[in-house]
Structure 1
Amino acid sequence: MRVVNATLDDLKGWLELASEVEFLFGPMGNDPKFIQAVEKNMKQGSAFCVRDNDGLPGSKLLGGLLFSSSNAPNYKIGWLSVSSQARNKGVATALVGHVLRRTPAPAEVTVITFGEDSPDGQPARKFYEKLGFLPLDERIPNGPEGGSRQKFKLVLS
């Protein structure tokens, strides 16, 4: 399983991946702002993906991650999703591990994920906690589906 830079050829697969999790994040596949953000990250080299069978650009995506380094040494995972067929197979761990290895210490990496009251978001919370991210008390607006959100932070030293 290889993590690679996503290209514009991967956009269709990215939007298919996003459609699988719209019940958690709200509509994205037809959202011009989401599409623009994905395209921008692809052009900047900050969109990463795992393709099915390590395929060529445009192949089916198993997972994708958007990563921001614009405020280095404060970094941000802006979006992470894994296709339903590839969950619990190490795809998310590979994606996050890839960006963490590229992040020079000392640094802080943050991500906004689901609040404790979101049953469907518990796997994401547990995933970040397993990687050493800690929940912060910072107030975050609810997600588009109405569920609470919480910021997590990992300190790299």
Structure 2
Amino acid sequence: MLDNPSFIRALEKNINRGTAYCVRENNGSPGANLLGAVLFSSSNAPSYKIGWLSVSSQSRGRGVATVLLYQVLSLVQPSSEVSVITFGDDIPNGKAARSLYKKFGFIPSNELIPKGPEGGSRQKFILTIPDRGLS
């Protein structure tokens, strides 16, 4: 995805809107190699949504997805929910994504999700952010 010109245009449009974030090589400016990106929606807060999170194949395992998740989760208000649809168990290349979401406390949902374009399953993960109020 990160090397597709149409995707890059859509990403830049969403960055300008404040609904997407990216990590570039050496924290570079636009035009520097793109290491990873995330699309994030707060339009239905307190129900937030990660539309997608993608990391270039050469950048995987270097903490790029973790940085992106910390960024979007820092924008979430207390007493809310964050959801993401990711690969199902039958997609071997999706294991890292599933593990990452679980590491952050996302819980797999039993909600039925349509299969992806390659025919593989998808699963919704949900993170509940508690109220941080003083009791």
TM-score range relative to shorter protein: 0.7 to 0.9
Q: Normalization by structure 1: what TM-score?
A: 0.76
Q: Which residue of 1 aligns with 2:109?
A: 136
Conserved 8 A contact 1:75-1:107 = yes
Match of 1:94, SS? Answer: helix
Once superposed, what is the RMSD of the aligned Cα atoms? Answer: 1.7
Structure 2 residue ranges without an equivalent (≥5):
131-135
Equivalent-residue separation in structure 2 for 1:127 and 1:18 (angstroms)? 23
Give the alignment partner of residue 63 of structure 1, picking from 36, 48, 63.
Answer: 36
Identity %: 59
Q: Normalization by structure 2: what TM-score?
A: 0.88
Q: Which runs of 4+ in 1 moved over 6 A?
A: none
Instruction: Note the C-alpha offset of 1:35.
Output: 6.6
Q: Which residue of 1 aligns with 2:133?
A: none
Q: Which residue of 1 aligns with 2:77?
A: 104
Conserved 8 A contact 1:18-1:81 = no
1:78 aligns with 2:51: yes
The alignment of Structure 1 onto Structure 2 pairs a total of residues equal to: 130
Q: Which residue of 2 aligns with 1:121?
A: 94
Letter in 2 for 1:111: V
Which structure shows the higher helix fraction?
1
